[in-house]
A and B are shown apart, each in its own frame.
Chain A
Amino acid sequence: MKIAITSTGKEITDLLEKKFGRAEFFIIADTENSEYKVIDNKAAMEAGGAGIQAGQTIIEEKATALITGNVGPNAMKVLTSGNIAIYRGESVSVEANISLFKQKKLQQINTAVASHFGMK
């Protein structure tokens, strides 16, 4: 399956990014093989609606799960409509989060944090 992880950098050794909508990068990884690609989050610098746009991107990338820190209310609506399962990642590398995910050690989340939570 394809999963998306918010990342602070372009490598899977980089740390997980806790913000969703304004994460700089998304890493889209295939759990079947260890292939992955990096995409720039175009929404990161938007004045508003970053979570909505970022959610749309994850869905367009055909990911079925997302590992991130916190998800705001608008992004939550978009991701839920796209049937994306959301997991709260740990403050470790993207790579380590993928392996935690495979071991089913990440907690699934379905509640949003407040708007602009990651900006505070």
Chain B
Amino acid sequence: MKIAVLSGKGGTGKTTVSASLAYSLHNSQYVDCDVEEPNGNIFLKASLTEKEAVMVLNPVVNDDLCTGCGACQQACQFNAIAVINKKVMIFDNICHSCGACKIACPTGAISEVPREVGIIESNSSHTFMHGKLNLNEPLTIPVILQLRKKMNKYNHVIIDSAPGASCTVVSTIEDCDYCVLVTEPTPFGLHDLKIAIDLVKQLKLPFGVVVNKAMDSDTSIQVFCKEQNIDVLMELPYSKEIAKNYSKGILPVQYSNHYKDEFIKLLATIKERTS
């Protein structure tokens, strides 16, 4: 079973929830798909012995064959090519590696060469995996797709998504079995939760909500979920103890059996909802 943890708003506790869940379950794999800033290993402390480059294909032009006709520029849907004074300029980091320019070129002047855009690091058993996008690279998708190919070896795959509701998140969650939406009781938390709900509904994925930093004085999330008939799967309290340990890189499940049990229960709840 593949469970994706996402949030809409950043900083609500995706990593706390996903890493805690993976830590509490036997035979689970934690995959950090927040490839612009993976942070799960601050808590799970896996020894990253395996490294694998993420490569994309980018076009290069053979100037001897190129006539400067501009067909490649016309074909490019991503504005990654300019043709100036019959000379082709290619912008690698905007290129989506679709290959249209190569097909469009009437003289066969374009070939594709691999370029590294990121890296996948994992421990030897692959129970921990994360992707890291190279600095200055704007496209996260190739790294996420490569991570996705390496999932599924374990009973429970717990996916830590990037925040937001962009194509990065879509490509992270689109083939998972269940989505856990983590939020916090703030106006921003509620606002972005609604966006995340719209996203998972459009993708027709089953989902439930985890309220992190829950407090009696603000039940806006619980009220909203009740109105909308949305499952609140779990609440993690607003607690100085959790925050203090978190700042030292310790998850609640790593010092408290109570929380470990809560996360095991969370999985049971999810299984019940999806059966």
Q: Count the A residues whose beta carbon is within 8 Å of the partner chain — how many? A: 17
Q: Is the CB of B89 within 8 A of A78?
A: yes
Given known pairs A74-B91, A78-B89, the reply for A49 and B84 (CB within 8 Å) is: no
| Majority SS at the chain A contact face | helix
Q: Is the CB of B80 within 8 A of A59?
A: no
Q: Could you tell me the distance between the alpha carbons of A82 and B78 in the complex, rounded to whole angstroms?
A: 20
Please report the number of residue pairs spanning A and B whose Cβ atoms sit closer than 8 angstroms. Answer: 43
Whether B141 sits at the interface, judged by CB under 8 Å, is no
CB neighbours (8 Å) of A48 from chain B are 78-79, 94, 138
CB neighbours (8 Å) of B79 from chain A are 43, 46, 48-50, 52-53
Question: Which of chain B's residues has its CB closest to A73's CB?
Answer: B91
Which of A46, A49, A56, A82: most chain B Cβ within 10 A? Answer: A49
Whether A77 sits at the interface, judged by CB under 8 Å, is yes
**B84 interface neighbour in A46, A81, A115, Cβ under 8 Å:** A81
CB neighbours (8 Å) of A47 from chain B are 78
Question: Which of chain A's residues has its CB closest to B73's CB?
Answer: A56
Chain B: interface residue count, which band? Answer: 10 to 19
Whether B83 sits at the interface, judged by CB under 8 Å, is yes
Which of B78, B79, B81, B83: most chain A Cβ within 10 A? Answer: B79
Binary CB contact string for chain A from 22 to 43 against chain B (1 if under 8 A, 0 otherwise): 0000000000000000000001
CB neighbours (8 Å) of B85 from chain A are 59, 81-82
Q: Could you tell me the distance between the alpha carbons of A43 and B77 in the complex, rounded to whole angstroms?
A: 11
Whether A55 sits at the interface, judged by CB under 8 Å, is yes
10 A-B pairs in the complex with CB atoms less than 8 angstroms apart = A48-B79, A49-B79, A49-B80, A49-B91, A56-B83, A56-B84, A74-B94, A77-B89, A78-B84, A78-B89
Top 5 A-B pairs ranked by shortest CB distance? Answer: A49-B79, A53-B79, A81-B84, A78-B82, A49-B94
